[in-house]
């Protein structure tokens, strides 16, 4: 039984090392430069004073069938990354933000069981190719029914099973669409924004609109409950989207907030606040 990890960056690196420590055979599928680093130096994970180094199999093109393909690239890199998959896996579990990537994967891998999933909690970043920093060891993954749960648990992650693919993805997107946009526009942390007299009401209304879109897509969510989750977030938390925009690199803004806005249009749900935030964030990212 073998697992392939497409995109051994921060999330992919943590899970690769977890699988190997759990006795699972792993092949990393990476760009040529990253593949060369992992071949020559291994893949390392730093947690506090501990450092774990593994030497997984690595390739630039997956040419053998595997039991599970974990897709851990960011949305802007998905099309290029999927070109590296030449043999279809039995299962594919994409850990991307948004909702539209499922259709892309199902079209690209018609013989694969593509399972909706999301990373609910992980703190990790890529210091450089092949080197991952993870301050806290916790990893929580939510998957739809039908996922290879026992295999996924061998990564060391806490696996939660929660309904259908669309339910899993909307539960995160309903708050993430607003959070990604508002932090990108303002370049301020969540704690400041949710209590700000100007930003706070817009932030909350955008969450309410996203929940209305989810409802039209068959997923019932409580806007109050989603806002409670935002209220519980660490005050200094921002978003990877905002950080990418600040750094001038491709972000997941379109895959996250843009996807929610497009879903609203498709389903006939008006999202004036969320749409305005998306437009403002797009302007911020292009400026």
Residue 253 maps to which CATH number? 1.10.1040.10
Point out the residues of the chain with pLDDT beneath 70: 287
Both tokens of 41, joined, read 């130096």
- Same domain for 181 and 153, yes or no, is no
**pLDDT given at position 41:** 94
Residues 151 and 192 in one domain: no
Give the model's pLDDT for residue 209. 98
Q: What pLDDT, on a 0 to 100 scale, did the predictor assign at position 48?
A: 80
- pLDDT reported for residue 157: 92
107 and 231 together in one domain? no
Say if residue 117 is in the same domain as residue 256.
Answer: no
Report pLDDT for 287: 64
**The pLDDT value given to residue 135:** 83
Q: Tell me if 149 sits within 8 A of 159, measured CB to CB.
A: yes
Residue 135, Cβ neighbours under 10 Å: how many?
11
CATH code, 52: 3.40.50.720
Q: What is the DSSP string of 181-248?
A: HHHHHH---HHHHHH-TTHHHHHHHHHHHHHHHHHHTT----HHHHHHHHHTS-TT---HHHHHHHHT
Task: Give CA 55 to chain center in angstroms.
Answer: 25
Number of domains making up the chain:
2
pLDDT digits (tens, 9 = 90+) for 148-160: 999 999 999 999 9
pTM of the model: 0.92
The pLDDT assigned to 3 comes to 98
The domain boundary, picked from 141, 161, 181, lies at 161
Assign 166 to helix, strand or coil.
helix
- For position 115, what pLDDT does the model report? 96
**Quick one: how far is CA 54 from the chain centroid?**
24
Last residue within a domain, chosen from 142, 161, 180: 161
Full residue range of the structural domain in which residue 64 is found: 2-161
Q: Both 46 and 139 in a single domain?
A: yes
């Amino acid at each position: 039984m073998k697992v392939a990890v497409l995109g051994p960056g921060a999330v992919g690196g943590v899970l690769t090392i977890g699988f190997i420590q759990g006795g699972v055979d792993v092949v990393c599928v990476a760009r040529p430069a990253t593949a060369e680093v992992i071949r020559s130096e291994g893949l390392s994970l730093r947690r506090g004073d501990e450092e774990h180094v593994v030497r997984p199999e690595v390739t630039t093109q997956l040419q053998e069938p595997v039991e599970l393909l974990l897709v851990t690239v960011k949305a802007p890199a998905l099309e290029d990354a999927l070109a590296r998959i030449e043999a279809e896996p039995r299962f594919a579990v994409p850990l991307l933000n948004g909702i539209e990537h499922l259709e892309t994967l199902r079209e690209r891998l018609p013989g694969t069981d593509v399972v909706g999933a999301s990373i609910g909690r992980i703190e990790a970043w890529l210091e450089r190719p092949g080197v991952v920093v993870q301050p806290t060891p916790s990893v929580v993954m939510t998957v739809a029914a039908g996922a290879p749960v026992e295999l996924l648990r061998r990564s060391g992650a806490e696996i939660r099973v929660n309904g259908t693919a669309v339910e899993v993805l909307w539960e995160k997107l309903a708050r993430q669409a607003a959070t990604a946009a508002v932090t990108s526009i303002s370049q301020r942390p969540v704690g400041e924004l949710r209590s700000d007299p100007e930003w706070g009401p817009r932030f909350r209304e955008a969450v309410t609109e996203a929940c209305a879109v989810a409802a039209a897509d068959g997923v019932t969510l409580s806007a109050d409950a989603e806002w409670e989750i935002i209220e519980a977030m660490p005050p200094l938390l921002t978003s990877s989207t905002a950080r990418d925009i600040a750094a001038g690199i491709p972000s997941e803004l379109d895959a996250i907030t843009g996807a929610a806005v497009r879903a609203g249009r498709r389903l006939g749900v008006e999202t004036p606040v969320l749409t305005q935030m998306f437009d403002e964030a797009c302007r911020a990212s292009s400026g």
